[in-house]
Amino acid sequence: MAVGTELVQKSQEAKEQAYCPYSKFRVGAAVLTSDGTVFTGCNVENASYPLGLCAERTAISKAVSEGYISFKVIAIASDLEDCFISPCGACRQFMREFGSQWDVYMSKSDGSYKLMTVEELLPCSFGPDDLRKGKNPVGNSKL
């Protein structure tokens, strides 16, 4: 079984744990670390809507909390049948924090998927290297 297929399956399983009483939109994610460890996550909504957490950020945060910061692949699943689930802008930036050259499998409910990289999903991105180069993220400010 291919890495993409296995991770999509794990993301579909993670979707089953979603806490989404408001939107009823279940999302699951499975992230593969550089050493082959897999962490899963689901979306967790909140009555104060902005405080909800996406599945991708849940899975990555679980991995980071266990000491992992190098990732190869993430797979995302939902109940969408007619289109591939795509990470929101916040999740794209969150993934970018850990590199731009890792794969993102966006799936449909039948297990089919579309493969892109973080860089393809977030071109011309701002990341940790920009801060190390002394770039000023606030424009013309003297900070």
45 is in an annotated binding site: yes
Q: Is residue 124 marked as binding?
A: no
With contact defined as beta carbons under 8 Å apart, do 72 and 34 qualify? yes
34 is in an annotated binding site: no
To the query of whether residue 120 is one of the catalytic residues in this protein, the response is no
Q: How far apart, in Å, do the first and last CA atoms of the chain sit?
A: 51
Q: Is 20 annotated as a binding residue?
A: no
Torsion, Cα 128 40 18 43, to 10 degrees, reads: 0
136 is in an annotated binding site: no
**Active-site annotation holder among 56, 66, 81, 120:** 56
Q: Which residues pair with 39 in a beta bridge?
A: 31
140 annotated among ligand-binding-site residues: no
Cα atoms found within 13 Å of the Cα of residue 78, Cβ hemisphere only: 19
Is 88 annotated in some ligand binding site? yes
Binding residue ranges for substrate? 43-49
Binding residue ranges? 43-49, 54, 88, 91
Q: Annotated active-site positions, please?
A: 56
Binding residue ranges for Zn(2+)? 54, 88, 91
